[in-house]
Chain A
Amino acid sequence: MTPHNKSLTARERILARVRANRPNSVEHPEVPVFAIDGDPLKDFISHVEGFDGKVIDVDTRESALSWLRENVKQSDSSLVYSAADGYEGNITLDRLPSPADAHILQACVGDGILGIGETGSVLVDPETFGRMANGLFAIDLYLLLDRSKIVPGLQDAYAQMDLSKVQYSSLFSGPSATADIEAVHITGAQGPVSLTILLY
């Protein structure tokens, strides 16, 4: 197959050129799992705070839910969507027919899948928020996280995932941020302005 043959498709021509030009074969190196020193829980908390997130550390899930009931304001002008078991919001998905409708949300509450000590990240997916747009458009984001689901490092986290089985997933590390103007760090760029993690 010649790389410049016009009777071939673009795909075939590109792949033919890649085949013809590829460098001498290099073996895939063995990548060890690097040990992460320290206490994953303490690391997680310090990294979340380093990314301008807030951690509420409580004993039980029920205590975390109580905290939400006491502290997350709900009203006609403060719409809260919740996908977390045991905590009711004041708006449901039927009032948010398209993802873009989530721009009216003040807050969104969901369950994180796992946490990472090395980076303070929480793994989320569309189920966490009902749909991803809710967790991206809400001004205030609240994530419940079982402390037993905190792993030391990124390698440990990816060892637990199967990306081929999940439509969309994301590691959220603090609220959205930017430093695009004179490198001044600003929390609250396009996504959530605040992120509170309720550890139980």
Chain B
Amino acid sequence: MSRQVNQVKLGAEFIADTPHRESNDRCLWAARMRRDKVAATLPEWEQMRDLASGIKEHALSHLDEYLVQFEENLASRGIIVHWAETAEDHNDIVLDILRSHHVATLTKGKSMTMDECAMREHLESNGIEVNESDLGERIQQLDNQRDSHIVMPAIHKLRTDVARIFAEKLGSDPANDDPTYLNSVMRADMRKRYVKAQAGMIGCNYAVAETGTIVMCSNEGDVDICATVPPLLIVTIGIEKVIPKQSDLPLFLRLLSRSSLGYDITQYTSHISAPAPGQEIHVVMLDNGRSERLGQSYWPVLKCMRCGTCMNTCPVFRRTSGISYDANYMGPLGLALMPSYDLHRYARLPFSCTHCGSCGDVCPVKVPLPELIFYWRQVVVENQQSLISHDLEEGLMGAALRNSTNLQHAEKLGLWALRHTPSAIAESGINPWAEWHSNPVPPEQTFREWYKDNACHNDKKTDK
């Protein structure tokens, strides 16, 4: 059985690191504020969210038809299409393609779908050099750490961290932590790798069925270099990425970058519909549980277009960082999605949520994240996957809330305990609240008693 992720513990470690916590929170909240500002410039913003949600729901409810149409269009122009049922199948297919072309080194654009398959690790363990081309992703690769955000993989790190990593791995000046300098180190290093790369690998933001087009949105130019420079290109596409028509695309593009980082568009929005002369393109359509999720009540999570805005707005995520989720998809999306990959391993994640509802309010395709997180809490409890402390809490609360008499007794018991438990015990390690707070001064009465003495009395006076 897999080890259960304890996001609370990992998050507490990040919270205790004030410089990193403050930087993470500041950067993500700035993106959220920019998102609000640009969204406010478009009066049709909320209408666009409804339309995008509707198109995604339409596409998913006709997914088999659109997948076949997409495949036929790609194949008609010489793109080779593969189908992978699992992450392992995906990695085997990719490795076979690379071996048959004698590829020893490649460059790879950022792709959460490939990360979901642990593809880089698989290729590296089979002797293939994989060079991540996105700056944030490269930082994480060199640091041997998971991404902390689906759009900004190293946003939890400080510039001093990057300077140390680049000095160790790329031989840069350890004393220079200027981000412009660090970017130039990355650029110079990657240029050498692009020239040597025998293959490129990329993900896909949208797969347009009507035209058979792979659409990629990026900022650094690296994805386009990976896609156009080497003679061999492999594209991994989750089957849920298909959208029906070309005319749907601008709607999603208008929402994507504005939601993600608060900008009108990404620097590069690129479309591949055929190989270039002398180029070979393989597309791997990945299922890995998606077709099963489609038949479950939580299928709307498949509408997600990976903009990351739910993470930028989440008060838990901003303070604990994506690293604390120890998962490929983190933040509210991770809470709503990861238990479907491994219920035991991610059983605690749905409880890392304040239920403020902000993620659902900002999602550009209206994935009902708060409802899905609540759904997974129920599943976890019903499957007895939760923490012992959660079971205990819920058992006690269940008894207290069973009827009014029990609740009255519980209130009195609670007040008595507040008054009489010595502070050495009440504020010890058994009470996590007391680590950062003093216990409140106990009131004289329970609220119920106070209400009977005051509010009821006033009500009677009003009645007269």
Contacts and interface: CB of A to CB of B under 8 A. Distances in A.
- Bound pair: A and B? yes
Interface in B405-433: none
A118 B253 CA distance: 12
B221 A103 contact: no
B55 A28 contact: yes
B294 A23 contact: yes
Nearest to A51: B267
A10 B268 contact: no
A95 to B, nearest CB: 16
A133 to B, nearest CB: 5
Nearest to A14: B287
Given A18-B67, A26-B54, A159-B247, A136 B228 contact: yes
Contact of A133 (B190, B229, B251, B275): B229
A36 B135 CA distance: 34
A129 to B, nearest CB: 10
A14 B285 contact: yes
B404 interface: no
Contacts of A121: 265, 269
Nearest to A193: B187
B225 interface: yes
A40 B111 CA distance: 34
Given A174-B267, A177-B219, A189-B183, A103 B194 contact: yes
Nearest to A3: B291
Interface size class of B (residues with CB under 8 A): 35 or more
B264 interface: yes
Contacts of A176: 219-221, 267-268
Nearest to A176: B221
B155 A163 contact: no
B393 interface: no
A72 interface: no
B250 A181 contact: no
A110 to B, nearest CB: 15
A182 B161 CA distance: 11
Contacts of B273: 163-168
A22 B267 contact: no
B267 A34 contact: no
Given A103-B191, A158-B249, A190-B187, A17 B220 contact: no
A112 interface: no
B58 to A, nearest CB: 4
Interface stretch (A63-71, A75-83, A149-157): A149-157
A163 B224 contact: no
Contacts of A136: 221, 224-225, 228-229
B73 interface: yes
7 contacts: A28-B54, A100-B229, A121-B265, A136-B221, A170-B270, A173-B268, A191-B267
- Of all A-B residue pairs in the complex, the 3 with the closest CB atoms, nearest first, are A191-B221, A21-B295, A176-B221
